Amino acid sequence: MSASDQSDSTIPATLPLRNDLIGEEPYGAPQLDVPVCLNVNENPYPPDPKVVAAIAERVAAIAPTLNRYPDREHIELRQAFSDYLARESGVRLKVEQLWGANGSNEIMLQLFQAFGGPGRIALGADPTYSMYPEYARDTFTTWQLVHRNEDFTLDVDATIEAIQDVKPSMVVLTSPNNPTGTSLPIDDLEQILAVCEQVPVTGANEGVHPVVVVDEAYIEFRDPDVPTALPLIDSHANLAVSRTMSKAFAFAGARVGYVAASQGIIDCLRIVRMPYHLSAITQAAALAAFDHTDEQLARVAHLRETRQQTAQWLESLQYKGESIKVAPSASNFLLFGGCFDNRQRIFDELLNRGVLIRVVGPDGWLRVCMGTDEEMARFREALAEVLPIVEQTE
């Protein structure tokens, strides 16, 4: 792309921006000051006052030491991850099998930094989280996709065929999947792991096999019969399971994510991590939140019920004589529609009424995350008002 192609950008054409970044836009969902924000899959309930007080106490205790660097190995926090996972999933992992970072976004970037790179391929399943190709771009990793089934479940046969064909260094799967909410059956994951333990990696030494990354950012919202991949870690050295405190734990503003894997994978991430990447304040705040796990997760069951009730309500609606579809979801959001020939117009009309959702996923679909009872009531009221208007004007 020539310098003249940057004429509409605020970036001066005289700056030596990487050629592959010219024309790119920063990632991010709209951040708008509207009454009802249901677009970024946050937990809508603020931390309990006890948690707020505990965070303030923990931060105050370490404040006099802020002239010193934090524990770059964040051992105490990694032990807290271990204790939490043992309680939440019944899986006890050693500190050496856990690693934290500034949100699961940084965890994923570190995975791409460690296992991707020039000449390497990362494979995902479309539709999926829209940041994955940006991690690949930023690490000069080739990003390839295999399409999911029509119901958004993983096409296991097509995925295995793609793994054997392209020989990726990474296979990135998401459970529950964003933006669809689809969970990944353990049997399907075990098939993928078995194949990856035999397949070579393009651009790597002989005897090297792909790493399978399962992104479980929304796993706490799952129904009781939906599994986590954590029990497979000890028997599969090429498996990494990414988690976050942002969603169910109501801690999005603190930016704390973590990954569970073999010690070998963790040591690979330690090579690419920035020095002292987790601030002392971040570590203190996270420890305070784990001290009050019950309070932090208190609204998860209610949000799960809200998801189920909202799905039933959406399925009762029609648009142009066709029933609205709702993708089965194990997360705190719903992908709905499947029949919207002008989803942007529906989004705009909702926004005009103070309700912000997300235009994401395949054409014809929209995504809404679960809010408070009052926010969801306003969403239902606005959508019921908008759909007939859009129908009548097209």
Tens-place pLDDT, residues 108-145: 999 999 999 999 999 999 999 999 999 999 999 999 99
The arrangement of strands across the sheet holding 365-369 comes to 325-326, 333-337, 365-369
Mean pLDDT, the chain, whole residue set: 95
Structure tokens at 203: 């651009």
Q: What is the pLDDT of residue 28?
A: 74
Residue 176 preceded by cis peptide, ω within 30: yes
Pairing of strands 121-126, 170-174: parallel
Topology of the domain covering 3-47+298-392: Aspartate Aminotransferase, domain 1 (3.90.1150)
The full DSSP string for 103-124 is HHHHHHHHHHHHH--TT-EEEE
Q: What is the pLDDT of residue 5?
A: 39
Tell me the pLDDT band of 26, cut-offs 50, 70 and 90: confident
Q: What is the pLDDT of residues 334-369, one digit of tens each?
A: 999 999 999 999 999 999 999 999 999 999 999 999
Tell me the pLDDT band of 225, cut-offs 50, 70 and 90: confident
Structure tokens at 138: 């930023």
pTM, entire model: 0.94
Q: What is the pLDDT of residues 52-98, one digit of tens each?
A: 999 999 999 999 999 999 999 999 999 999 999 999 999 999 999 99
- Taking the domains of the chain in order of start, what are their residue ranges? 3-47+298-392, 49-296
Mean pLDDT of 237-241: 98
Best CA proximity match to 213, nearest among 182, 174, 250, 245:
174
Tell me the pLDDT band of 184, cut-offs 50, 70 and 90: very high
Tell me the pLDDT band of 220, cut-offs 50, 70 and 90: very high
| CATH number of 49-296, picked from 3.90.550.10, 2.102.10.10, 3.40.50.620, 3.40.640.10 | 3.40.640.10
| Element containing residue 81 per DSSP (H, E) | helix 75-89
Structure tokens at 240: 């990494």
Instruction: Output phi, psi for 369, to 5 deg.
Output: -95, 160
Best CA proximity match to 319, nearest among 262, 358, 364:
364
CA distance 157 to 268: 30
Residue 277 scores a pLDDT above 50: yes
